[in-house]
Amino acid sequence: MRFAIVGNTDKPALRQAVPKLLEKLDSTGTEYVIDRKILNLLPDAPRSGKDHGCDFDQCIEKSDVLIAFGGDGTILAAARSVGGRGTPILGINLGKLGFLAEVAPEGMQEAIGDILNNKFYIEDRLVLEASSPSIPGRLLHAVNDIVVDKSRSSRVIDIEMHIDGAYAVTYRGDGLIVSTPTGSTAYALSNGGPIVTPASLVIGITPISPHTLSGRPIIVPDTSSIRIIVQADSDEVLISADGQMESFVRPPIEVRVKKAPYPVRLVKRMDTTYFDVLRAKLLWGRNPKGS
């Protein structure tokens, strides 16, 4: 098994965490490659006598498991880079929340030991794919969500939505979030969407600040094709994927969202459940009167 090490070089904790990982890998004789941008930050890192450095794209190509240091944004970016290759990703959390990068630096060596001893499992997560005639030839992929919103305008917009060819509803508000179960605890949650367990075969649709009490979220099967239309009387609209890939377009626009032909694959430890993460990260179920 060969690991590839990538990460967010803007995280100060990276300089302390990566050498500890390399020490573990070298001591067990495990093969690995490491992004040269990280390697250049670590002049005193342990070495096994060979050059492990490579460019980011080469790291993706050469790995059996990708280890990504950073926050959830780092994992989202790594997942898009992996694309349909199916390379499993282990996230080491150097950020704040860490829903996807669930292993803390202090538990990193133990987690690597578990992987080497085959004490782990792979969890497939739904990926969304969006296309639009307004961005010809470009596909947007998202692990969390595809968002269509009013961009920099102060005006509300009307968003017409069709599901599997049938007209569903027109939302008036600030925009619309189409989310995966993974993304249900991201932007959608802050707009009143439900928490959806990762294994659920569904897509969530949540309006952003709807200007009506009847504008409610909806859950549809992950086999659904979702068509979003913003009419010409609106100002500039922003289409974004995971808040990282963006396109500003002028209405009228049409965006089609569906399940991508591949999942993102996350490495999970056997001693941690999704509900453990919810309780730890969101204080889910915590009694506000308790300690």
Distances (CA, A) of 29 to 8, 100, 117, 250: 25, 28, 14, 55
Q: Report the phi/psi class of residue 67: left, alpha or beta, with left for phi > 0 and alpha for psi in -120 to 50.
A: beta
What mean pLDDT do residues 143-171 have?
Answer: 93
Residue 191, token pair as written in the block: 């707009």
**Who has greater pLDDT, 272 or 186?**
186
Higher pLDDT, 97 or 165: 165
User: Catalytic positions, please?
Assistant: 72
Whether pLDDT at 48 is above 60: no
The token pair that represents 265 in the structure block:
């694959």
Domain at 128-259: CATH code: 2.60.200.30
User: Tens digits of per-residue pLDDT, 196-255?
Assistant: 999 999 999 999 999 888 889 999 999 999 999 998 777 789 999 999 998 999 889 999
pLDDT at site 282: 84
> Region 22-32: what's the mean pLDDT?
92
pLDDT for res 137: 86
Q: Is 3.40.50.980 the CATH classification of the domain at 2-125+263-281?
A: no
With beta carbons less than 8 A apart as the criterion, state whether 212 and 239 touch: no
In what helix (H) or strand (E) does residue 17 lie, and over which residues does it extend?
helix 14-27
Position 51 scores a pLDDT of 65
pLDDT of residue 157 exceeding 70, the answer is yes
Provide the pLDDT confidence category of residue 46 given band limits of 50, 70 and 90.
Answer: low
* CB hemisphere CA count around 12 (13 angstroms): 0
Residues of the chain with CATH 3.40.50.10330: 2-125+263-281
3-state secondary structure 234-276: CCCEEEEECCCEEEEECCCEEEEEEECCCCEEEEEECCCCHHH
Q: What is the mean pLDDT of residues 180-190?
A: 96
Determine which of 120-134, 259-273, 276-290 has the lowest per-residue pLDDT on average.
276-290
Residue reference for tokens 């995280």: 11
Q: What is the arithmetic mean of pLDDT over 80-102?
A: 88
Greater confidence (104 vs 43) lies with 104
Angle at 84 between CA 24 and CA 281, to 5 degrees: 55
Is pLDDT at 103 greater than 80 in this prediction? yes
**CA 73 to CA 95: how far, in whole Å?**
9
Q: Are 245 and 168 spatial neighbours (Cβ–Cβ below 8 Å)?
A: no
The CA–CA distances, whole Å, from 144 to 5, 162, 233, 244 equal 23, 21, 29, 11
- Dihedral sign (CA 59, 61, 63, 65): positive
Terminal Cα-to-Cα distance of the chain (whole angstroms): 44
Residue 226 has a pLDDT of 98
The residue type found at 31 is: E
280 band by pLDDT with thresholds 50, 70 and 90: confident
pLDDT in the model for residue 215? 83
pLDDT given at position 24: 92
Q: Are residues 145 and 183 in contact, defined by beta-carbon separation less than 8 angstroms? A: yes
Is residue 291 very low, low, confident or very high in pLDDT (cuts 50, 70, 90)?
Answer: low
Confidence band for 42, pLDDT divided at 50, 70 and 90? confident
How would residue 45 be classed by pLDDT, with cut points 50, 70 and 90? low
pTM of the model: 0.91
CATH 2.60.200.30 domain extents, the chain: 128-259
